[in-house]
Every structure is written in C-alpha cells, then in structure tokens.
C-alpha cells in the first residue's frame, strides 16, 4: 500500500467570488479552488472520486472532505487491487471504525466497484467517453441552472451499471463528472470559471 503525503496547504485567497455552494470552510474552499472541475485522467484519482461520490450519497460533500483522509486510510489508499480482495470480514472490521462513514452497503460497494474497475480494459477512457474525451464547458449563471443529472451522467450511469458498478445512479454520476472536470460547471461569476473555461 502506498502512503500519500498530505496535500500542501494552499493559501486561501480572500475576496474572490466562488460558486455559491462553496461555504467559507477552508477545507471546502481549498477543494473548490484546487480540485473541483479540474480535468483529471489519473486512474487512481478517478477511482477515488468514484468511491467518495458513492459514500456521499445522502450526506454533504463537506462531510466527505472532513473524513477523506480517514476514508483513504480505511479503504486501503483507494488502491483498486487491494480493495478488490476485500471480503465480509474486512467490511465488518471497518464497521467498527468511528472515523469513517460506517455504512455496510457502501463498504461492500467499494470492493465490488474495485473489481468492476479492474475488469474494464480502459476505465479512464470509459469515463471520458461520455463527454467525447474533452471537458464540456458550461456557462451557468447560477448553480441551479445545472441539471441534477444531465445526459452525460445518465450515459455514464448506464455504462457503469452494465459493468457491475453500484452506487452509480445518475445524480451521483453528475457530481462525479463535475468533480473530475468532465463537466466544467463553475458558475460564470466564479473566479475558477475563467481559468478552466480555456
């Protein structure tokens, strides 16, 4: 298992306009300013975000961010090879860990999704196929203009389910595609929109 160093603290610039969903919590601001909507083709990052989006179901994303490092430790550094070997005893052990989101179905899904991910000949290509291989840049004035689940999310959900993934409904897939930069959905007044709109 690899050990990741914590991401360096990035100074938070004040006085910048951000997407309205971003609170003033420093963890949220850092995620918004440095990760959300940035195109990623790193298979490990794409897998991690897919698992985290599944864990978020029914919770706030800030809850996930606050427990991300604990989840990373508990979920074997989001290594699909390691997660694919997990079993019910492993799930039961994680259910005793109060630092993570203790949900038996989500823990089982992490293992099942790792096995499904490894079975894909090109998981990165599959994810990016729903946007034709390039980020789709939107120009939403307010976040409410963005669909809860657009056609790309519907397509990805169908693809992933066909390959045996769980916790990959259209709403989860919409959030996932936004997070990994397949959909660039920073609002037009946000300081990140200009940087990522290209």
Of residues 28, 36, 48, 53, which has the active-site annotation? 53
Is position 128 annotated as part of the catalytic site?
A: no
Q: Are the CB atoms for 102 and 125 separated by under 8 Å? A: no
- 61 counts as catalytic: yes
First to last CA, the chain: 36
Catalytic residue from among 31, 117, 128, 140: 31
What number of CA atoms fall less than 13 Å from residue 153's CA on the CB side? 23
Is 13 one of the annotated active-site residues of the chain? no
Long-range contacts of 25-34 (CB under 8 A, 24+ apart): 25/62, 27/62, 27/65, 27/66, 28/61, 28/62, 28/65, 31/65, 32/192, 33/192, 34/7, 34/10
Catalytic residue numbers?
31, 53, 61
């Amino acid at each position: 298992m690899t050990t990741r160093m914590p991401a360096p603290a990035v100074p938070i610039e004040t006085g910048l306009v951000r997407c309205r969903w971003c609170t003033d919590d420093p963890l949220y601001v850092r995620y918004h300013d440095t990760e959300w909507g940035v195109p990623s083709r790193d298979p490990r990052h794409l897998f991690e975000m897919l698992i985290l989006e599944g864990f978020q179901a029914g919770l706030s994303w800030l809850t996930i961010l606050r427990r991300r490092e604990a989840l990373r430790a508990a979920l074997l550094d989001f290594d699909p090879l390691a997660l694919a070997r997990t079993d019910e005893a492993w799930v039961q052990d994680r259910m005793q860990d109060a630092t993570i989101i203790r949900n038996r179905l989500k823990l089982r899904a992490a293992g099942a999704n790792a096995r499904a991910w490894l079975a894909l000949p090109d998981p990165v290509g599959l994810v990016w196929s729903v946007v034709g291989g390039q980020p789709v840049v939107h120009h939403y004035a307010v976040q409410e203009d963005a669909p809860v689940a657009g056609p790309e999310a519907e397509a990805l959900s169908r693809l992933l389910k066909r390959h045996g993934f769980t916790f990959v409904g259209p709403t989860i897939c919409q959030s996932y595609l936004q997070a990994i930069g397949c959909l660039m959905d920073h609002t037009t007044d946000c300081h990140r929109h200009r940087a990522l709109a290209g």
